[in-house]
Structure 1
């Protein structure tokens, strides 16, 4: 017991000796969808693109999530209810985790998954964290904006943003992304280490993110930041082995 206390005191901030990671969302969570996930965005069916989320466009089979965007006509209402209120051109899909992610001085989170992400102009899939109350924080672990790149982003404000782009294959093969979120020693800021295919890519920092609850969202938005016009046919964004673990208390 004395040895444990000494080592615990010597541990660096953000490390948690002899504590196993707790599984918050297991890698097979899509097989128990209603236990871990809700349909749509936390705030509803609309956001900042031309896709409106619909239950019929959210498909789960063999522990793989498929979000499907299809062109639509005569939507009601005709524009998004979220700013900047673009015209709705697609029915699509989004889900969010029931469990919030809150990094504190006593814990750290790892958020990961494997994705088959479309990269055509007008397709805007994402795997991201955003504030439960207010905004920011926002951490984009996967964001594809109509090019063969994944964007790792951290928003401290709308104008103070750190972005790192990495090449993303266009063949719709599955690749993994991961973020490890750890409180800094000032107990205010969060260090975010990003990985692709288990290779470390970059570290970014979220100012004042400690103690801020965040939603985890997987969505297929359309057009907006990914350009227009979007595809005239069906677009599919797939996710599997999405997992969240927490180390510490």
Structure 2
């Protein structure tokens, strides 16, 4: 989730070492902004227990064909590697009253620090990813509300199509999404996806915030987050789910999702 921004004013985006475009349109100029506060540092996987927890905030299951297990998570060399392996004999997962057959054991982590955007504030998120794109693989880097659902912000989501999706849910049917071809890297060092998200007063009073994304230094998209965003706490989740929205059957062999240099910088007043 890379340039990702949630804002609705002319506030500029900025990265840690480079400048990102403003979120008021693809033709915006590259600008910089004053330094913020580091909430999650780039070397956080080396101090995993300080910054991260295993599984989802609510448990091991969600809305796909993988059940999460800490044994499927590695942080060697400050690279988070999530591995999904075929499994049999697992009872079905249940989410919202719907059951999902479990065909894999996989890994998911979430940040211990919840992210809450204050009026006039926001966050930058940066990371390097090497994501699988085969049918049935569903890696994601996303934010979801601590209390209730929605809103949900998929900073970066891959759903087995060869594309990367940037999307937000204001309701189950009110969804803003933009998909672009994902240049799947051979090595994680070749995949930098910078994301920033900010909030500011919307001039048309249509939304709480707005977001945009930069992939490999190129502006990709921006769209609004309209409801229940400001002053709401969010979980940040790094997830290797399987099947579900990415189709089935999934791969018959093990699948990995690698992430490094995750950094979250806060700009709340």
Per the TM superposition, whether the score is higher than 0.5 is: yes
RMSD (CA atoms) = 1.9
1:38 and 2:53 matched = yes
Report the equivalent of 1:4. Answer: none
* Aligned positions of 1:93-112 closer than 5 A: 93-112=107-126
Deviation of the 1:195 alpha carbon: 1.2
Q: How many residues align?
A: 236
* Aligned positions of 1:83-94 closer than 5 A: 83=96, 84-94=98-108
- Partner Cα separation in structure 2 for residue 131 and residue 248 of structure 1: 18
- Runs of at least 5 residues in structure 1 that lack an aligned partner in the other structure: 1-11
1:228 and 2:248 matched = yes
User: Equivalent of 2:158, from 132, 141, 144?
Assistant: 144
Is the contact made by 1:136 and 1:155 (CA closer than 8 Å) also made in structure 2?
Answer: yes
* TM-score normalised over the length of structure 2: 0.83
In structure 2, do the counterparts of structure 1 residues 132 and 65 end up closer, same or farther at CA, with 3 Å as the change threshold?
same
Deviates more, 1:60-69 or 1:206-215: 206-215
1:24 and 2:39 matched = yes
Report the equivalent of 1:7. Answer: none
Report the equivalent of 2:79. Answer: 64
* TM-score normalised over the length of structure 1: 0.89
In structure 2, do the counterparts of structure 1 residues 123 and 162 end up closer, same or farther at CA, with 3 Å as the change threshold?
same
1:176 and 2:192 matched = yes
Is the contact made by 1:113 and 1:178 (CA closer than 8 Å) also made in structure 2?
Answer: yes
Report the equivalent of 1:73. Answer: 88
Deviation of the 1:179 alpha carbon: 2.9
SS at match of 1:34: helix
Deviation of the 1:85 alpha carbon: 1.7
- Runs of at least 5 residues in structure 2 that lack an aligned partner in the other structure: 1-8, 14-31
- Partner Cα separation in structure 2 for residue 172 and residue 116 of structure 1: 8
